[in-house]
Amino acid sequence: MPTKTISVRIDGELVTAREGQSILEAALANGKQIPTLCYLKGLSAVGACRVCMVELAGTDRLLPACTTPIQEGMSIKTASAKLTQYRRMAVELLLVERNHICSACVSNGHCELQSLARSLGITHVRYSYNNPRMTVDMTHPRFVLDQNRCILCTRCVRVCAEVEGAHVWEVASRGIYSRIVSDLKDDWGKASNCTGCGKCVQACPTGALAEKGLSVMEMVKQSDAVSRLATQRASLVNGAR
C-alpha cells in the first residue's frame, strides 16, 4: 500500500512529506536543519534532549520535532529568536548538570554537545554548576564509561537494544540522579551480555563512552556508520512484516 503524501509548510516554504514521518524527518528530507543531540537516524526517537523543539502555528507550546508526527496543513517554524533562546537554555542546563571539562576530554573538538554549544554562541552558562561526584567505569577491556560526560541521550541504550540486541544498557534512578548503567548496575566489565561491538561507543555524542588508550581530542566517533546499520536493520524488519 503506497504511503500517503501530505503538504506542510516549514519556515514558510510549502513542502511535501510522507504520512508517518516525524516533523524532524520531514524537515531533514526537505533540506531543513534542526539541531539534535539524542536523535540518531535508524533508532527510535525519544525526545530526551529537547533541543529539536519547534514552533507550530496554532499552539503556544513548543513541540519536539523528533517525536511529533507530521500532519496535513501544519505550519512549522524551525528557527526563531524564541527557539534559539530555548535551545541555549537547554544546552546550558546540560552543561551544568555534569562535569563537562572539554580541555581534558578525549572527544574535545569532536563532540556534538560542544559543537552545538558553539553554534548557539554559548561561551559561558548562566546557572550554577551541580559539580556532582561522578564515577568512571574502566572495567571493560576495550572501553571506558565516564559519567561526567554523559547527557542521558540514551543513544547507547537504544543502539544496544535495537541494533545489537544485547540490552546491556539502561537508565537507573530519576531526575538529576539518573545514570546510565550496565546489567542492573554491575560493572561494565562484568556485563555478560556485552559483545564488545563498540556500537554504543560510536553512537555516543560526547566523551561519555570512549575507547581506552586515547588522549585529549583523539576520540572521533563514527555515528554515521552506526546510523547506516540501524537504518538497514529497520528496513529489513519493516520489510519482513
219 pLDDT higher than 70: yes
- pLDDT grade, residue 240 (50/70/90)? low
Q: How confident is the model at residue 68 (pLDDT cuts 50, 70, 90)?
A: very high
Dist CA 23 CA 40 (whole Å): 14
- CB burial readout 92-127, b (16+ within 10 A) else e: bebbebbbbebeebbbbebbbbbebbeebebeebee
At residue 139, the 3 state secondary structure works out as coil
User: Do the domains 5-79 and 97-222 sit in the same CATH topology, yes or no?
Assistant: no
Give backbone dihedrals phi and psi of 120, rounded to 5 degrees, phi first.
-90, 0
- pLDDT surpasses 80 at 36: yes
Question: Residues near 212 by Cβ (< 8 Å), separated by ≥ 6?
Answer: 138, 140, 141, 142, 143, 144
Which CATH number describes the domain made up of 5-79? 3.10.20.740
239, pLDDT greater than 70: no
Sorted by where each begins, the domain ranges of the chain are 5-79, 97-222
* pTM given for the model: 0.94
Class of domain 97-222: alpha beta
In the prediction, which pLDDT does 28 show?
96
- 110-164 pLDDT, tens digit each: 999 999 999 999 999 999 999 999 999 999 999 999 999 999 999 999 999 999 9
Q: Does 233 score more than 90 pLDDT?
A: no
For residue 77, the tally of other CB atoms under 10 A from its CB is: 16
